[in-house]
Structure formats: C-alpha cells, structure tokens
Amino acid sequence: MSEKMLGPLLDRDLIQETISTAMSKGGQWAEVFVEDRQSASAEFDEGRVESMVSSRDLGAGIRVTVGEATGFAHTADLSLEGLREAALAAAAAARGGNQIEPVALRGQGASLNRAEILPSTVSKARKVELTRQTDAAAREVDSAITQVSVRYSEGRRRILVANSDGVFNGDDQTRILLSVNCVASGDQGLQTGRETVGYTVGFELFDQYDVEAMARRAARRAITKLEARPAPSGQLPVVIQRGGGGVLFHEACGHGLEADLVDKGASVFRDRIGELVASPTVTLVDDGTMGSEWGTIAIDDEGCLSQRNVLIENGVLTDYMWDHSRSRSSGREPSGNGRRQSYQHLPMVRMTNTFVMNGEIEPEDIVSDTEKGVYVAQLGGGQVNTATGDFVFGMTEAYLIEDGRITAPLRESNLIGNGPDVLQNIELLGNDFAMGSPGTCGKDGQGVPVGDGQPTLRVASLTIGGTAS
Amino acid sequence: MKNTAELPDLAQGLLAGARENEQFEVCLSRGRSTTVKAYLGQIESVRSGASQAAGVRIVVDGRQGFATAGSLDPEVLKQVVEEARENLQFAESDPDQGIAIPDGVAPPGLDLTDPAVLRLTEEDRAAVAIELERRCLSSDSRITGVRSSAWSDGWGEFALASTSGIAVQSEGGSCSVGVQPLAMQGTETQIGYAGDAARRPDALDLDRVVSEAVEDATRMLGATKPSSEKVTVVLEPSVAAAFLGTVVGALTGERVIKGRSPFAERLGEQIAVAQLTLVDDPTNMESLGADNHDGEGLAARRNVIVDSGVLSQFLHNSYTGRRAGTSSTGSAVRGPRSTPSVGIHALSIAPGVNNRDELFAKIKKGVFIRGVNGLHSGVNPVSGDFSVGAYGQRIQDGALGEPFREATIASTLQRMLLDIVEIGGDFEFLPSGTGMTSIAIADVALSGI
C-alpha cells in the first residue's frame, strides 16, 4: 500500500498570522479552512465520448466568532495579502469581544491519502475505456435499450483546518463515482434505469468492482419498468430491499437529529433524548469512519476527528449530531459532523454515513409475511420538513406484493410518511444489512457526499403516491 | 495572485493563444457576495467573499475539450487552456459539435447594471435581516421563533469571447431576502417560508415577505391527512412554476435530440389545452432572468414554446440546434464552470382573467396546493411520471377550507397539460424570474389515508 502523506496545504506561520489578524478586532475564536479540490469527469453518451472536463478550485474561508455572532469571508487569493484581507473582512463582522490570544498551532497539519491508486496517475484513455465498457454492457441487455449515458468522475479534496484553539489538521480525500443511465423504449413510452457506484477510494475500485454487472442492472431496471403499471394511491405496508432505502432514515429522522435544527426548535425530535422514539428493534448510527464508504472522512471540515455516533439505540434516542458551534454552546464535545460544501461555505451539522443496524429476521420471511403491499428495490432521493417530520422519497424500482410474493412492477412515484410515525412503525427488520448507493445531501443550499444503509425491512404503513385506486 | 485586469482584456489575451485549427471559447466571471443572517434580534452570521471563475472550451474537428477553475490567476488560466486541449484528444468527433457562430440577431440592449447594491453597508443588510425576524415574531402570537432570517446580495461581471468573433460582457447585481418562521400550537410546529429577490434593494417587498411567510406557517397548523381520491387541484404560482418548469425542461434540445423526452416527436402538435401559452422571454426587464445574451454570447430573444396548446418550438443552443437541423434559439445556459446546456431564462405564462377566489368558486371538491416537495425524486421527465409530496388547503363547495399535509399528488406531465381547466389571472414574477399564475388541473390523484 502506497499511503501518501503530504505536508500542510499552507505554511504554518502564514496560518498563525492569519488567525491573529482575524482576532485583532476582538474576535474570541477564529478558524482558517483551506481547500484544494481537483476533479475530472468523462461523459459517454449516444455511443461516444461526449466530453472530458477537468476542474480546479483552491481557496480559504476564514471564520471569526464573538459570542453567538459569526463573521466569515472567503478568498481564492492565498497570498499573505489575500488572506489578510479576508481575515479583516471576517473580523469586521465579528468584533468587540474581549481580546483572546490564540493558542499556538499544534499538530502537523499533514494529510494522508488512503487511495492506493491516485486517479490522477491513471491515463485519461483508461477512464474513457471504462465508460465505453459500461455502455456496451448496458446495450447488450436488450434492443429496447435506446439510450445509455455513462458518467465517470473523480475528485481529490485536500483540506487544512486551523483554529485559535491550536487545531492544525489536514485530510486528503479521494472519491470516485461511476453512474449509468439507461432509457428503454416500449409501446407505453419511455422508462429509465439508473445505477451508481461511488466510494472514498482510488482507482483500485475497478480492480474489484464489476461495472458491467452494474450496467446490466440499470438496463434491466429500465426494461422491467416498460411493463410497469401505475403505483397504488393510498396507505399500504412497504418492504424495502437491503441497501435500497437508507435514505428513509436519512430523511425520516437523520435531519431532525442535527443539533442546529434541534436548537432552533425546527425539529420534531427536540427534547426527546432518552425517550423511545422508534421501534425497539431500531438502532441508528452515523459513522464517518466507515471503511471507504461515500460519506467517510478522516476529519470533518472543522478539524475534528470523525467518529461513530449511535443516535438511536434499541429504539431510544441517545444523541444528536453536533458541529463546533453547537457543541461549544452546549458545553460538550463535537461529534465530527461539522461539514461544508467548499471553502466558500460556513460549516454546519451534517450526516456522514447513516444506517440502521441488522435485525434478526430472514429477508424472505419479511416478503412472505406480507399479504398485500409494495416492495421497493431502489429508492431515489428524498426531502423532509424537519418541523413536522413529513418526508417524501421517490421509488425508482418497485413492485406489488400480493399474497406474500413479489409480483407486478410499478411506475415511479413518491412515498410520503411522517418520520416519528415511521420509526415506530418499523415492524420487521432483516438480518441482511447492506450499504446503499452514494448520495449528495443538500441542506441550506450546500451539498455534501453521504452514505446510507439498512437491512431489508417492513414499514407497517406508508402513503404511496401513485394514481391507481 | 490577485488579477485586476478587465475581464474582456483577459479573455482576448487567452484567445490570442488559440491555434489555427482550434475553435476556442473563453468564459470568465468575477463577483462578490454577502449574506447576513439574524437570530434573536442579533446578527448571527455575516458571510462575504470574492469569487472568480474561468472556463475554456476548445473544439477541433468536432472534438470538444473543456476545463475550468475557480481562479483568474494567469498561471492557473494557462493550465486551464492546456487541460482543455488535452481533454479534447479523448473526446470523439461529432460533426455538429462547436462553438456558437454569430447569427446577426441584435441583443435587446437592456440596462441591467443598476449599481444600487454596490452602495449597501453592513448595517443596511443587518437591519433588514433583523427587521424581518422581528416583524414575523410580532405579527402573530402563534409564531414562536424564526429558524432563519437572511439577506443576500451580490455583484458580478461576466465576459465571453471566442474565435468565431463573439465578444460580450455584462455586469450587474441583485439582492434577496428569505425568512422561515416557526408556528406552534400545542405540541405541533409548522415551518413557513417566503422570500423575494430584485435588482435593487428598494424593489424588495418586505411587507409581502412577512405576511406570506407567517401565513405559510400558521395556515398549516392543525393540518390533517386527506383521503385518497381523484380531485381538481389548484397550484399556487410557485408550484405551477415548478410543474411547468419540468415540462419545459423536457422541451429543451438536449433531451429532444437524445430521445429523452416524451414530447420529442410532437412538434406542431396540440400537447396542452388551448388556454396554455408559454413564452421564454429574457428581453423582458420585469423578469429577474432578463439578459442581453445567452450562455454562448448570442443575443437573448423571445421564444414562444407552447402557443395556444400547440408545441411550437423546442429550445436550442448552437450544438443542439445544428443537430436538429435548425439553429440556436439563444437558449444556452451556463456559467464559466460548465459547458453550455439548454434551458429557460425567463419563462412566462399567458395569464387568464379570473383571480384565485374565482378559480376556487368553480370547484365543488378539490385542493389548493401551497407547496410541493420531492420534485427531484418524484418527477421523471423522460417517462413523464409525476408524483410529488404536497400540502395546502381543501376546497369545498367553491371555498378554501381546512389545511392538509402528508399527501401526494400524481398524474403524468402529458396528462396534466391536457387536464388544465383554468389558468388564473393572478400573474406575478417570482424571485426565480418565472412569470406565473395559479393553475387549476382536473383529475389528479391525491393520495393520503
């Protein structure tokens, strides 16, 4: 394994001086966040390489706090003068506190890249070939596949976080994503099938991962849906296949357990620590340390080591997720959940990899125990209103369950439920845990990579937003 | 390093490095933005920053390469050009690929460079954010808090130049506000939202933002789950804009030429009721989407997309126009960070005559949709399947009634266009730049209990 250790993104003395400048107007705490992001992508569409794109972003965000007020300024100019200007802009917005001397920076500020094969060392031709291979595998499935598009993207994000408490930590994150979208054409019109693989890993991903099998799954999904009938309208039991619906928990309760929303009274889970909020079979974890999963980070974007946080244990709410400012005002340790989209953004409480742990039931028994319901093989994105707990998510592959058997495929539609109700209504939990597809979680206009997972499970009742009566 | 050169000069400088066989296009931008949030009567945060961006597109023999960076540093720009040149070697040739060629259409000559936002001070910004929060809290005893009260403004410059002779530049500013009050009754909490955006601070309607946000939160208190049935729905303008925005997305060149639109083969056919006329008109200054040029530097122009229910044209950029055997409709959408796609700039509906109450008056049983969610997950613009989470109020015997939540509405985009029963006369330009009215649509599946 060729682990790669690099020194700090910016010189220690330069950072130390910038922190001092940032606190010079009476700031009580200051932070410098430096980010260098390089990404590249290849699009394969209509049977040919359509484009290759590369992108580079380098800059710093400087944050100063006085009491509950925060000043923040970002700049792409990392010279002494550029950083000084941004530090003064941030300081001007958070001034007049009792002057506090910053602590000297500790730590190395160095960062370790865990990728075995850095994507930048792989030829562009090889990446293009990967998309071509994926396209070919999808098209071979059936002549009804009329369109295939494949997107490969890679990103390397080096960060450095330093603050007036002496934190001086770095991280070097490499992520790879490959997605395939198929369109199938039939008598009833067009249908789509999508599959995505993504990990916090280097190009060695493709030594193990079968991209052709993934392409075939996406193609079959589109073909299957050509025969789909309209989804039901109304309430039914819903069985969700392992790894297909971790987004349920992300939306049903994940966002509501973010301390910033809780603190402002915008969460149905406020003041409920220690209460039974879910079926006693449910243990919900957010874990930023989880192998090479999509939401995995070594440190969060406030320099705090990522960790495994149990949020719900055997149905009892045990903790919320925290960032620096919320944990400080509550007098507790942060939980490694302070994240931001880029150096141009203020961090806030965000999930990493959020999942429900295994139950004890065989997945086949969950289906056979269901007389009438809906079987969801893949959920798409979702959205939640944290104040009411109402959330929606889309079914991108689903079937009817009739007399304990999976039967007719269903057209796409949304499901809607209420987070606190659904948690209580997880009535069967399988023993076949799997992580799901990589996701991008949006909050207040910022997107960050997140993972999710769950075993096969049954919710007693959700509203299916179809058109069939 | 800081680069203070004028953007058009910088663009021409890069263009000078184009090789003889290259179609070469440079897109540059530079801007500043500030966001101030208030909480509990104090400034919660002030976020400001300068940003820069550059994008270089090079086409040789129908092969396109693109590279971009968040910097105008000369060294970085040099790398961007090299990367774009390298990238094109891996793309495959498409005879229609290429940059825009000037088409002789004159730009509308709009003056969008109102400097009012440049005169704003930190105090001005904070005062509005604090005021919005205070007014929400004092307007209704059920408002117990405000999750977020924010002011934002920005100023940006843009320049685009290419070897085909395009050289355009623009600059301008905008400002916006948004507030999310929390309403409480017993143990129930509802969150509301309203916002506004304008080119000048004095054009923001704060009274309206406060009353809409408070109403949005309080009106939903006591909401219950409705029963599942087929009903007539009235979409409020922002919801109607989301629905029609998705429809028009399926009428853009990329989707159409690649067979990813249910309307791909339907040019010249009746796809909607005769009352529906949709126009994309960036030459109308009243829309915040107004502009002199599109994302490839061609003149912005008025495009009639749906004319009395007939699909009259698709929207195109240069590439999709060439492939479709027609020409660009000036509908390229992009910033320096991406290659041009196709989209709407300032979509507008032709209004009907009746106000919202008059729309309700004709409905015996239905629902008024105040908001939807899950648009990104529940609408498939390829198959046309439409299913979204919805909340709002019941309509009973011609009048608005009790609120409902935790429901979905579903149909298909194709059917909904033909099931429109009335287009309202309550035309307004939304902060998104879309000009919209309320729309009543029959026979939509409402799913609840």
Quick one: pLDDT at residue B335?
87
Range 77-116 of B in CB contact (< 8 A) with A: 79-80, 83-84, 86-92, 94
Residue A350 Cα, gap to closest chain B Cα (Å): 17
The verdict on B111 and B55 lying in the same domain is yes
Range 269-328 of B in CB contact (< 8 A) with A: none
Report yes or no on B387 lying in a domain: yes
The verdict on B127 and B103 lying in the same domain is yes
User: In terms of Cα–Cα distance, which of A240, A196, A244 is closest to A218?
Assistant: A196
pTM: 0.93
The verdict on B78 and B114 lying in the same domain is yes
The verdict on A216 and A268 lying in the same domain is no
Give chain A positions within 8 Å (CB) of B337.
55
**Radius of gyration for the alpha carbons in chain B, expressed in angstroms and rounded:** 24
Least confident of A64-68, A305-309, B421-425: A64-68
Q: Which residue has the tokens 């999710």?
A: A452
Quick one: pLDDT at residue B1?
43
Q: Per-residue pLDDT tens for B140-192?
A: 999 999 999 999 999 999 999 999 999 999 999 999 999 999 999 998 999 99
Residue A185 Cα, gap to closest chain B Cα (Å): 9
Residue A98 binned pLDDT confidence (cut-offs 50, 70, 90): confident
Q: Per-residue pLDDT tens for A349-358?
A: 999 999 999 9
End-of-domain residue from the set B196, B218, B240: B218
The verdict on A98 and A152 lying in the same domain is yes
Q: How many residues does chain B have?
A: 449
Look over chain B and give the mean of its residue pLDDT values, rounded to a whole number.
95
- Which ipTM score applies to this complex? 0.90
End-of-domain residue from the set B218, B236, B266: B218
Would the CB atoms of B90 and A58 count as touching at under 8 Å? no
Quick one: pLDDT at residue A265?
85
Quick one: pLDDT at residue A380?
84
In this predicted structure, the answer to whether residue A76 has a pLDDT above a threshold of 70 is yes
End-of-domain residue from the set B173, B195, B218: B218
Q: How many CB atoms lie within 10 A of CB B237?
A: 21
End-of-domain residue from the set A170, A203, A226: A226
Question: Phi, psi at residue B243, to the nearest 5°?
Answer: -65, -50
Q: Per-residue pLDDT tens for B79-104?
A: 999 999 999 999 999 999 999 999 99
Number of domains in chain B: 2
Quick one: pLDDT at residue B379?
87
In this predicted structure, the answer to whether residue B409 has a pLDDT above a threshold of 80 is yes
- CA dist., res. B228 & res. B197, Å (int): 37
The verdict on A95 and A80 lying in the same domain is yes
The verdict on B214 and B229 lying in the same domain is no
Sorted by sequence, the CB contacts under 8 Å of residue A96 that are 6+ apart come out as A25, A26, A66
Q: Where are the alpha helices (DSSP H) in B51-100?
A: 74-88
In this predicted structure, the answer to whether residue A390 has a pLDDT above a threshold of 80 is yes
Would the CB atoms of A233 and B411 count as touching at under 8 Å? no
The verdict on A185 and A271 lying in the same domain is no
Quick one: pLDDT at residue B4?
65
Would the CB atoms of A57 and B2 count as touching at under 8 Å? no
A388 touches chain B (CB under 8 A): yes
The verdict on A295 and A214 lying in the same domain is no
> In this structure, what CATH number is given to the domain that contains residue B48?
3.30.2290.10
Give, to the nearest 10 degrees, the angle between helix A80-93 and helix A12-22: 30
Mean pLDDT of B288-292: 95
The verdict on B231 and B207 lying in the same domain is no
Higher pLDDT, B383 or B348: B348
The verdict on B204 and B270 lying in the same domain is no
- CA dist., res. A432 & res. A425, Å (int): 19
In this predicted structure, the answer to whether residue A449 has a pLDDT above a threshold of 70 is yes
The verdict on A42 and A126 lying in the same domain is yes
Tokens of residue B422, six digits: 């009335």
The verdict on A266 and A123 lying in the same domain is no
The verdict on B63 and B187 lying in the same domain is yes
Expressed as residue numbers, the domain containing B318 is 223-449
Q: Per-residue pLDDT tens for A190-229?
A: 899 999 999 999 999 999 999 999 999 999 999 999 999 9
CA A227 to chain centre: 32
In this predicted structure, the answer to whether residue B200 has a pLDDT above a threshold of 60 is yes
Mean pLDDT of A437-465: 95
Residue A2 binned pLDDT confidence (cut-offs 50, 70, 90): very low
Quick one: pLDDT at residue A93?
85
3 state SS for chain A: CCCEEECCCCCHHHHHHHHHHHCCCCCCEEEEEEEEEEEEEEEEECCEEEEEEEEEEEEEEEEEEECCEEEEEEECCCCHHHHHHHHHHHHHHCCCCCCCCCCCCCCCCCEEECCCCCHHHCCHHHHHHHHHHHHHHHHHCCCCEEEEEEEEEEEEEEEEEEECCCCEEEEEEEEEEEEEEEEEEECCEEEEEEEEEEECCCCCHHHHCCHHHHHHHHHHHHHHHHCCECCEEEEEEEEECCCCCCHHHHHHHHHHHEHHHHHCCCCCCCCCCCCECCCCCCCEEEECCCCCCCCCCCECCCCCECCEEEEEECCEECCCECCHHHHHHCCCCCCCCEECCCCCCCCEECCCEEEECCCCECHHHHHHCCCEEEEEEEEEEEEECCCCCEEEEEEEEEEEEECCEEEEEECCEEEEEEHHHHHHCEEEEECCCEECCCEEEEECCEEEEEEEEECCEEEEEEEEECCEC
Tokens of residue B59, six digits: 């086409």
Quick one: pLDDT at residue B100?
97
The verdict on B245 and B367 lying in the same domain is yes
The verdict on B214 and B293 lying in the same domain is no
Report yes or no on B1 lying in a domain: no
Quick one: pLDDT at residue B6?
92
Expressed as residue numbers, the domain containing A417 is 233-465
Kindly state the percentage of chain B with pLDDT values over 90: 94
Residue A68 binned pLDDT confidence (cut-offs 50, 70, 90): confident
The verdict on B249 and B150 lying in the same domain is no
Question: Phi, psi at residue B59, to the nearest 5°?
Answer: -125, 125
Q: Per-residue pLDDT tens for A371-385?
A: 999 999 998 888 888
Report yes or no on B2 lying in a domain: no
End-of-domain residue from the set A178, A202, A226: A226
Report yes or no on B152 lying in a domain: yes
The verdict on B184 and B266 lying in the same domain is no
Number of domains in chain A: 2
Mean pLDDT of B202-212: 96
Range 241-270 of A in CB contact (< 8 A) with B: 261, 264-266, 268
A383 touches chain B (CB under 8 A): yes
Kindly state the percentage of chain B with pLDDT values over 70: 99
Quick one: pLDDT at residue A381?
81
Report yes or no on B242 lying in a domain: yes
